[in-house]
Structure formats: C-alpha cells, structure tokens
C-alpha cells in the first residue's frame, strides 16, 4: 500500500477537534455538553448580510477577480479607513478565510527552511500552515504569570538567526486573549526594523478589544513595507462558514508574489463575497451588542475560574478566549475525562487542552483554553461542572 | 526593502491572465474582443441551485465539518454512483474549488523534492501548486501530431526514478481536450501498479465527454488505494465562482493525512455547499443542453480552424478546449499583437498562448489554446478575425 508523505504524517491533527468523538459519545449518553472548546460564536449572522446574498441577481456564477471582486475591495478600503488603517484596493487580496491569507504570507515571504518567530502559546493551525510551507516555527514563550504579555525583546533577539525571516503575532490573541499595547507593538516594530524581518499580524479579533486600545501593525510608521496584515470576516460578522479573509500588504513586490499564488487558485468564494461586501455597510454601532455580550461573558468566566481553588486565569484584553491554569496532571487527559467519565447534574464541559497551542515540549500541560462563545447562564453551568470536576478528578494535583 | 521569497519569485504568472491588460486597452479603443482565452463558460448557472441558497434558512453561518457538510457528502455519493463511481461519504473531502484538492493531494502524498509526472501540455496552474508543495513536475510530451494521445508507456518509464511518487492526468484534458481511452487508462494503471505510484486524476470535465466513453481513474480495479480523484463543480454546473471541489481517495491513510490539511483551514465555503448539494438533484438530462452546445461549438471551431491555410487542430474528445498549431513565429507575441495591433470589422480575438502549458523550453511556441465557451455566431466572427490576422501578421511563417 502507498503511504502518505512525511509531511502528511507529521502534520498535527487539530487539538481542538480531536476530542469531538468523546463529546459525541457523551451526548449519546444523554449528557449535555457545554462547548467552550471552539471559537464558533453563538452570535447570529446579521440577517441583512445573508439577505444581500438572497437578493443578488446572478445569472452566471463566474470566477471573480483573483484578488476578489473590485467592488468588495473598494468597500474594504472604506472599512479599514473607519478603523484607522489606510490602504488601497490594490493592496488587498481577498482570501478563502483567514487561513489562506496566512498560507499566502508564508509562501510569498519565506522559503523552505526559513524560520518564523511566534509568541507561544499560539493558534495551533499555524503549525499546519508552516508544514505546508516548509517553514520552521521558532516559539518565544509568553508566560501565564505575565498574563501572556509580549516576552522581552531580548528573548526574541536570542532566537533570531540567518534563517529568521518573520515574526507572526495574533492581536488580540488567540488562544490567550492578550491585547498588545502600543509599547509592545513599537518594540516589535523596532526589532523588525533592525533585523529586517517581516511582521505578519493576524488581526481576526480586531473588533473585540476590551481592555485598552487596539493597535494594528498597519499603524506602525517605520516598517510599512514589512507588514503583512492577515484578516477575516469570520468572527467580525459571525460568518465563520463564509470563508472570506484578506491578505494585505503595502509591499508591492510581496503583493505581486502573493497574487501569483492567488491566481493559481483562480478566485476566492463568490457568493460569500456578496455577504462580506454588505457587511461593510452594517451600522457603526453593530459591534456594540456582540462586544457587550463578550465583555459580560469574559467578566463572569474569569471571576468564576479564579474563584475555584487552585485555578488561575489572567484577564484577557480581547478576542473571546482565555487560558486557565488548573490543578491537574495533564489537560489532555482531564479534558477527555470530563467527556468520558464525568457529569454533574447530567452536564459536563468541553475545553481545548492547551498543549496543542505550544510547540515547546511539556508546556501547557496544566492549561486549557476556554472560548466564551456561550451565554452567561451556560457559562455558570459549565463552571459549576468544572468546579465539581476538579474536586473529584483522580489526576488532581495539590499545591 | 524586504523582498519576496525565492518561490514567490519563481512562481509563474497565469499565462491565461497575463494578456488581460492588453484586452482591456483594446476594449477602451472600442474593439470587440472575442474571449477564447479562459475556461469561463457562458452557460447559465442553473437557477434552481442558486435558489437553494436564496431559500436557505441560516441563522448562524457556522464552520462546516472540515470534510464538508455530511448532507452534501451523502449527496455526492449518489452523484458518483450515477456516473459509475462507488465511494463512501468518508472518502470525500469537500474543497475550496478543484485547486485546493490538488494542493491537498500533493501535500499529503509527496514530500519536498519528490517528482510527479504529467503529460505535457498541462493545466498551467499545476506549476503553481507544485511550487507551493516543493514538488518537481517532470513532463512527458504528448504531441499535437498524435492528437495529444497518451505518450507510449516507455516514455513514462524513462522518466521514473527514485523520487517519482505520482502521475497526474487531467481527463478529459485541459488544455488539449483529449479524452483518454480505456486502453490508455489501463496502461496508466499498469505502470502505477508496477512502479508503486499514485495516480492523481483531475476529472473536472467528466460530463463533457463527446467522442467515445469516459473512463474514470476510479474504475481501475487493480490500484484502488493508489488513486486520488480530484473534482470540482465549476464546469459541471457552470458554477466556477462557487469554489467547491472534492478530494476523494479510498486510501484511508492518505485520506487521514489530507484531513489534517483540511482541518488546518477549518472548512470549505459554506453558502456554496448548499448550492452544490442542490446541484446533485438536477434532472438527469440537465447536461444534454450544455453538452449539445459544446459539441456544436467544437465541430464549428475545429472545422473553421482547419480550413485556415497553415493551421492544424486535432479534434478534441472532451472538455471545451482545443490546441491549434498556427503558422506563426511566437504565440505570445501573436496573441498580444491581436489585441494591440489588429482588428477586423472592429473586432479581434483573445486566445491563450500555449507556451504557458509546456514546461519543456521552446515547446508550444506556435500553438494556442482556444476555449469554446462562446456561441457559434461569435466563434464564426472570431475565426473570421483569426483568418484575416494570419494573412497580415508580420511574424507569419510560411512552410
């Protein structure tokens, strides 16, 4: 029999999705599972943007421009202007979700064997994109004790070698919820300038910044041609399934290179571009309601977590994730145990073991990621379960 | 300034799209351009499948399953059964267009530096996907004199070395329109079996087989676990912009590897999966009308081409492409000249220079690809233009 490639073998399975069979088994047993494991918001997709697709008058569903419909890119220029980012339509490539933009960035800026530094813990799928691109991820550790703040620049400097081509950040951060300060962004600007590195900035959660101001990498004045902005409408407009993202750069040569990758796959999804274009016309206060919901959920979740003996969770400044440290032996085992062997009043909870967000062996073993994409009532019920579970879990560790 | 990667530099620009600025300039001058350059059919997307999206009742546009909606994969099993291909829903990964499936195949079956043999001329974007995957394409030449039939198996054998992992065919073929016979498919089966190679089969044009019977790689009984079927609804249902394709294999290990790449990008386009699912329920005679249109266009185009002195075009058995040999010095120069410097009764035509479909240097210089995706009246007008152009083109070669 023919076997898969080596890269097919080393490609990691999704740490978020690998527990799915256990959740399904729990549900079959009649247990209610509170899903805090995946960043699928429960916020409704704005009906008006779904209506834009329904009211469209397509005769032939043709390939769009490889960079995306011009009309949509023009609208995106308006959107970015509103959030303080000045770009032109010819600096945008519309992508199939944020994912494709990350692949384009790695492919067009890095070669096989090149290195990219990413603050750890990081979004697990960056591993997959790096394997596709043959790029090596070099993690720089941000600690839970520091609330996952940017590590000191000296930590970056130690890791920079001749193969280092880029730094990748996610801001606000998935999985930590950390929101980078102006000073931190300027520290990154400084090191990218001195070391001649690309700064890839994944800003999927821009609108969900709660504590302090959001600072885009596109605001950095000294490195305009070193920044690649990676974006998506998935979380912004509760449209994860649309698969519409964006790759944006002011570096003409990099843009032209990325466009060749975009041309190879012909065009981004067509129907969803109509939805995305309509979304730019949502009223300016559209974000008020989801943002207020997330803040309320965050406040509740963090309070409940930190009230459980032995649990520590820093307060995240953005996105809708938090990483908590639990008094346990192994979060992979614990999260599976919660689904397989535990219930409280017929309920349990599903979380993402944090080990999948770390490349450094052994890191994150006592941490979990929680996505607060369920309502406050369910958060309370889920936290009741967690509190009870930690009392009876056989692998509990006592200080 | 920071420069793109080497692979960004060597990535080829689309040979089909590079003449677009010249076409736009011609149109600005008031010249009507007949587009025979790109495989964008003029056939209307079936209104009923667009309606399926319009009548959908989505509250939250969620991520779908990474392999695609289960309901759609079940429908696809029905579709494939109708065309004589027996697979299960768990052997299908729904992809963002056919393109993504080709990338998944290369990523999950081949490693950096591995080689894949492709009959030349071939679909130009295979080059781009191979560059993404770090895979080397080894072309085996199929000649216009033989109507682009499969080269003798001895030609393949000469090219197979320790790094050869796969053969990739497109059947019916883009860009040649060639339809592989049962004997040719069995010859491929035989060599894949003997040399332990994957057979990637891009069958995007399955429904458009005119001369003789279509034989899927999935019909090959001796190599069920070596075949990866690559598919798309783009041409089948005139839905190029939907971006829905499929990666299909009975090799469980390869499927599992490909699923990890699929999970990394989360899910295929959501709205378009609704359209694609509805398409499977189109009446069985749906293809009769587009197929009859393509056959009529093909017959007209080939006749007109072969009636022009010095022009030779084999009769394609499927798809909606033909490659013609013209009495010219250089098809890149000629195709640009047609747009820049020529018109006949205020009209001209746009074709794809065939050089972009060859990797072997110098091949295809006097060949062009024509896509018969315009109606017969326009084909006649375009051929009038070509006939006149060849009389006055300064780079004309006489035998």
For B186-214, write each residue's pLDDT tens digit.
999 999 999 999 999 999 999 999 988 89
Q: What is the mean pLDDT of residues B243-259?
A: 98
Q: Measured between alpha carbons, how far is A119 from A294 in angstroms, rounded to an integer?
A: 24
Q: What is the mean pLDDT of residues B124-130?
A: 96
Contact A66, A262 (CB under 8 A): yes
Does the CB of B45 have a partner CB in chain A at under 8 Å? Answer: yes
Q: Measured between alpha carbons, how far is A4 from A282 in angstroms, rounded to an integer?
A: 46
DSSP-derived secondary structure letter, B256? H
The beta-carbon neighbor of B251 closest among A2, A58, A196 is A2
Q: Measured between alpha carbons, how far is B79 from B87 in angstroms, rounded to an integer?
A: 10
DSSP-derived secondary structure letter, B89? G
The reported pLDDT for the residue numbered A110 is 98
* CB-based contact A99 B265, cutoff 8 Å: yes
The beta-carbon neighbor of A243 closest among B251, B256, B267 is B267
The beta-carbon neighbor of B4 closest among A243, A257, A270 is A257
Does the CB of A50 have a partner CB in chain B at under 8 Å? Answer: yes
Q: What is the mean pLDDT of residues B6-22?
A: 88
Does the CB of A57 have a partner CB in chain B at under 8 Å? Answer: no
Residue B208 burial (CB count, 10 A): 25
Does the CB of A105 have a partner CB in chain B at under 8 Å? Answer: no
A86 Cβ contact list (under 8 Å, min separation 6): A80, A218
Does the CB of A366 have a partner CB in chain B at under 8 Å? Answer: no
Does the CB of A110 have a partner CB in chain B at under 8 Å? Answer: yes
Question: Distance from CA of residue B363 to its chain's centroid?
Answer: 19
For CA atoms B277, B278, B284, B289, the dihedral sign is: negative
Residues of chain B with CATH 3.40.640.10: 47-281
Dihedral angle over CA of B85, B91, B96, B100, nearest 10 = -90
Does the CB of B8 have a partner CB in chain A at under 8 Å? Answer: yes
* CB-based contact A110 B257, cutoff 8 Å: no
CATH of B6-44+287-392, one of 3.65.10.10, 3.40.980.10, 3.40.50.300, 3.90.1150.10: 3.90.1150.10
Does the CB of B13 have a partner CB in chain A at under 8 Å? Answer: yes
Contact B326, B334 (CB under 8 A): yes
Question: Distance from CA of residue B90 to its chain's centroid?
Answer: 25
Residue from A3, A43, A223, A263 whose CB has the most chain B CBs within 10 Å, to mutate = A263
* CB-based contact B264 A45, cutoff 8 Å: no
Show residues of chain A in contact with B111, CB under 8 Å.
5-7
Does the CB of A272 have a partner CB in chain B at under 8 Å? Answer: yes
The beta-carbon neighbor of A270 closest among B8, B241, B266 is B241
Q: Measured between alpha carbons, how far is A73 from B319 in angstroms, rounded to an integer?
A: 33
Q: Measured between alpha carbons, how far is B252 from A46 in angstroms, rounded to an integer?
A: 40
Q: For A227, which residue in chain B has the nearest alpha carbon?
A: B2
The beta-carbon neighbor of B2 closest among A112, A198, A263 is A198
Torsions phi, psi for A92 (to 5 deg): -115, 135
Does the CB of B378 have a partner CB in chain A at under 8 Å? Answer: no
Q: What is the mean pLDDT of residues B120-140?
A: 97
The beta-carbon neighbor of B109 closest among A5, A59, A125 is A5
The reported pLDDT for the residue numbered B326 is 98
The beta-carbon neighbor of A269 closest among B50, B107, B269 is B269
* CB-based contact B60 A50, cutoff 8 Å: no
Residue from A38, A90, A204, A264 whose CB has the most chain B CBs within 10 Å, to mutate = A264
DSSP-derived secondary structure letter, B12? P
Whether pLDDT at B159 is above 80: yes
Contact B236, B207 (CB under 8 A): yes
Contact B357, B24 (CB under 8 A): no
* CB-based contact B53 A50, cutoff 8 Å: no
B272-314 pLDDT tens trace = 999 999 999 999 899 999 999 999 999 999 999 999 999 999 9
DSSP conformation letters of A294-340: HHHHHHHHHHHHHHSTT-B-----BTTEEEEE-SBS-HHHHHHHHHH
CA distance B145 to chain A (A): 29
CA distance A257 to chain B (A): 5
CA distance B307 to chain A (A): 33
The average confidence (pLDDT) of chain B is 96
Provide the edge-to-edge strand list for the sheet that holds A115-120.
A92-95, A245-249, A227-232, A198-202, A164-170, A115-120, A136-141
* CB-based contact B45 A54, cutoff 8 Å: no
CA distance B215 to chain A (A): 23
The reported pLDDT for the residue numbered A13 is 86
Block residue for tokens 């397509």 = A58
Segment holding A108, helix H or strand E: helix A97-109
Give the CATH number of domain B47-281. Answer: 3.40.640.10
Show residues of chain B in contact with A58, CB under 8 Å.
45, 50
Q: For B126, which residue in chain A has the nearest alpha carbon?
A: A264
Show residues of chain A in contact with B21, CB under 8 Å.
none
CA distance B53 to chain A (A): 7
Q: For A1, which residue in chain B has the nearest alpha carbon?
A: B225
Reading chain A (399 residues) residue by residue, the pLDDT tens digits are 799 999 999 999 887 778 989 999 999 999 999 999 988 888 999 999 999 999 999 999 999 999 999 999 999 999 999 999 999 999 999 999 999 999 999 999 999 999 999 999 999 999 999 999 999 999 999 999 999 999 999 999 999 999 999 999 999 999 999 999 999 999 999 999 999 999 999 999 999 999 888 999 999 999 999 999 999 999 999 999 999 999 999 999 999 999 999 999 999 999 999 999 999 999 989 999 999 999 999 999 999 999 999 999 999 999 999 999 999 999 999 999 999 999 999 999 999 999 999 999 999 999 999 999 999 999 999 999 999 999 999 999 976
Residues in chain B: 399
**ipTM, two decimals:** 0.95
The beta-carbon neighbor of A112 closest among B112, B238, B253 is B112
CA angle, corner A389, sides to A386 and A394, nearest 5? 140
Q: For B69, which residue in chain A has the nearest alpha carbon?
A: A241
* CB-based contact B264 A11, cutoff 8 Å: yes
Residue A145 burial (CB count, 10 A): 10
Block residue for tokens 């090149």 = A114
The beta-carbon neighbor of B44 closest among A40, A59, A238 is A59
Residue from A95, A260, A268 whose CB has the most chain B CBs within 10 Å, to mutate = A260
Where b means 16+ CB within 10 Å and e means fewer, B61-98 reads bbbbbbbbbeebbebbbebbeeeebebeeebbbbbbbb
Does the CB of B240 have a partner CB in chain A at under 8 Å? Answer: yes
* CB-based contact B13 A260, cutoff 8 Å: yes
Confidence label for B399 from pLDDT (cuts 50, 70 and 90): low
Q: For B261, which residue in chain A has the nearest alpha carbon?
A: A128
Show residues of chain A in contact with B257, CB under 8 Å.
4-5, 8-9, 11
Does the CB of A292 have a partner CB in chain B at under 8 Å? Answer: no
């Amino acid at each position: 029999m023919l076997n898969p490639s080596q890269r097919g073998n080393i490609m990691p399975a999704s740490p978020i999705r690998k527990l799915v069979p256990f959740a399904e088994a729990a549900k079959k047993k009649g247990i209610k599972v509170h899903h805090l494991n995946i960043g699928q918001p429960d916020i409704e997709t704005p009906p008006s943007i779904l209506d834009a697709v329904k009211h469209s008058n397509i005769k032939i569903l043709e390939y769009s421009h490889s960079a995306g419909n011009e009309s949509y890119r023009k609208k995106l220029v308006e959107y970015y202007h509103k959030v303080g980012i000045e770009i032109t339509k010819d600096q945008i490539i519309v992508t199939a979700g944020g994912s494709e933009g990350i692949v384009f960035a790695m492919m067009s800026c890095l070669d096989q064997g090149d290195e990219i530094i990413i603050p750890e813990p990081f979004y697990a799928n960056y591993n997959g994109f790096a394997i596709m691109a043959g790029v090596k991820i070099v993690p720089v550790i941000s600690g839970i004790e520091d609330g996952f703040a940017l590590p000191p620049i000296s930590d970056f400097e130690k890791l920079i070698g001749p193969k280092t081509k880029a730094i990748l950040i996610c801001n606000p951060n998935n999985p930590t919820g950390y929101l980078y300060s102006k000073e931190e962004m300027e520290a990154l600007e400084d090191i990218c300038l001195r070391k001649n590195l690309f700064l890839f900035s994944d800003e999927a959660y821009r609108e969900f910044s709660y504590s302090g101001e959001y600072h885009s990498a596109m605001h950095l004045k000294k490195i305009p041609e070193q920044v690649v902005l990676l974006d998506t409408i998935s979380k912004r407009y509760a449209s994860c399934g649309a698969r519409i993202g964006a790759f944006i750069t002011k570096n003409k040569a990099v843009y032209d290179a990325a466009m060749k990758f975009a041309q190879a796959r012909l065009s981004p999804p067509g129907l969803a571009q109509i939805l995305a274009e309509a979304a730019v016309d949502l009223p300016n206060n559209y974000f008020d309601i989801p943002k207020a919901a997330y803040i309320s959920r965050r406040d509740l979740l963090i309070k409940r977590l930190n009230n459980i003996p032995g649990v520590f969770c820093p307060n995240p400044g953005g996105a809708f994730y938090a990483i908590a440290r639990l008094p346990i032996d192994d979060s992979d085992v614990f999260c599976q145990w919660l689904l397989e062997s535990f219930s409280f009043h017929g309920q349990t909870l599903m979380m993402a073991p944090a080990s999948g967000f770390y490349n450094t062996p052994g890191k994150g073993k006592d941490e979990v990621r929680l996505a607060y994409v369920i309502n406050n009532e369910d958060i309370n019920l889920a936290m009741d379960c967690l509190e009870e579970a930690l009392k009876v879990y056989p692998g509990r560790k006592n200080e």
